[in-house]
Amino acid sequence: MDQQSTRRRLIEATGVGMLGLTAGCVSRWTERDENGDSSEESESRESAADGGTDTETSTDDAASEDERDEDENTDDVPSIDGGAVVFVYDDGPIEDYEQAFPVHQEFDAPATAGIVSEWIGREDYNGTDWMAVDHLEKLADAGWEIASHTTAHTALGAFDLVEDVESNETRIYPEQRNHGFHHGYEIEITDGNESVRRTVVDSDTDEIGGYLEFDEPVGVAFDASETVEQYPDDVMHEFLEESKQDLEEYGFDVDTLLAPYDIVDERTVEIAREYYDGISNVHPGSMHNDPEAFDPFGTNRDYFIEFTTREEVQAELDQVAEQEALSILGAHTFKDEVTEERIRETLEWVDERDLDVVTFREAIAATEALDLELVHTRTPRFR
């Protein structure tokens, strides 16, 4: 497979980067004179009237050829005019393949599967079976996107402490103990001045609350009101870089990240930008995203079967269609309530509202194409 991301292909094809316009673009959107012509157009006609050379004609021909090439290279970018929906399935259980995939095939609708790279092919791990490489290959061949869900489904954000720490203690009490679900990793305890790294060997709850247990005393006293616990930078890079590399070694294009536990903070985004084009669940609890102001690192995602009702989902989809919005929906197919019937029902609602279904990668490309279209039609900021 081509390892170059859709986003990079689009940027290279159009010649537009993060700041919007290249020098070539600026030359095509100049101020208009009183006749409605750009200053360059006026100069070109005056030069021709005076018997000018073929330089201007060649330049115009080249510009026209560039525009034709641009149109040809963006033909495969899906349109999201009228509204679109992205389905992002979590974790990579076999139910993605056995339940969700057949239903999506009925509607010719792709989806994005967030894959925990170390869980691929495991049987009866954490109470379920997980898709093997051949399952993922069939998804990808059908137009599904394979996204990273980290190496081991580790929470990427930082957590405040709720109890002060004495230097001789081996336990800390964070507001959430997600980092205690995986033993053997180092945790950084820091107040911004002092930082200590300790290895998690146990996690449970006691009369105080949830705690992380370390292999040795913390060694430094910390004020809970000023302290967080988090994975150190090098461990974060390991989770994000290695999961992408592992999936790419199997032959998949991996451009985006699904954050475990819906936990994302600014530091997560900063590190993830080094490897990915977007994170699909930065802000959980809402499905609505404005295509014209879409930030792949500021996404809204909500569940469409878990934690909600049929009536709420239909009302939300009505708003998506009315506002021509971009919706990102999620589900864990290993959960009992996430059935083929419920997935099919939701896809029928999407179809009834004439909403397109795209992958998260395609949504990024489509919104960038929309940004480019707006650049072509609006007065430029750069001259």
pLDDT at 370: 74
Q: Give bridge partners of residue 147 from the DSSP assignment.
A: 114
The answer to whether position 196 is within a domain reads: yes
Using 50 as the pLDDT threshold, list the residues of the chain that sit under it. 1-59, 62-74, 374-383
Are residues 38 and 111 part of one domain? no
| 330 HSE (CA, 13 A, CB side) | 26
Are residues 262 and 205 part of one domain? no
Regarding pTM above 0.95, the answer is no
pLDDT at 272: 98
**What CATH number does the domain containing 308 carry?**
3.20.20.370
CB 295 within 8 Å of CB 54: no
pLDDT at 61: 52
Are residues 317 and 170 part of one domain? no
Are residues 72 and 22 part of one domain? yes
CB 343 within 8 Å of CB 100: yes
Structure tokens at 114: 């967030």
Are residues 149 and 284 part of one domain? yes
Are residues 275 and 145 part of one domain? yes
pLDDT at 96: 98
- Out of 37, 52, 77, a domain closes at 77
Q: How confident is the model over 138-185, as pLDDT tens digits?
A: 999 999 999 999 999 999 999 999 999 999 999 999 999 999 999 999
Domain that holds residue 308: 84-153+235-368
Q: Which helix (H) or strand (E) holds 136?
A: helix 133-141
CB 330 within 8 Å of CB 89: yes
Domain total of the chain: 3
Q: How confident is the model over 180-202, as pLDDT tens digits?
A: 999 999 999 999 999 999 999 99
Are residues 170 and 91 part of one domain? no
The answer to whether position 376 is within a domain reads: no
pLDDT at 31: 32
The answer to whether position 107 is within a domain reads: yes
Phi, psi at 58, each rounded to 5°: -65, -40
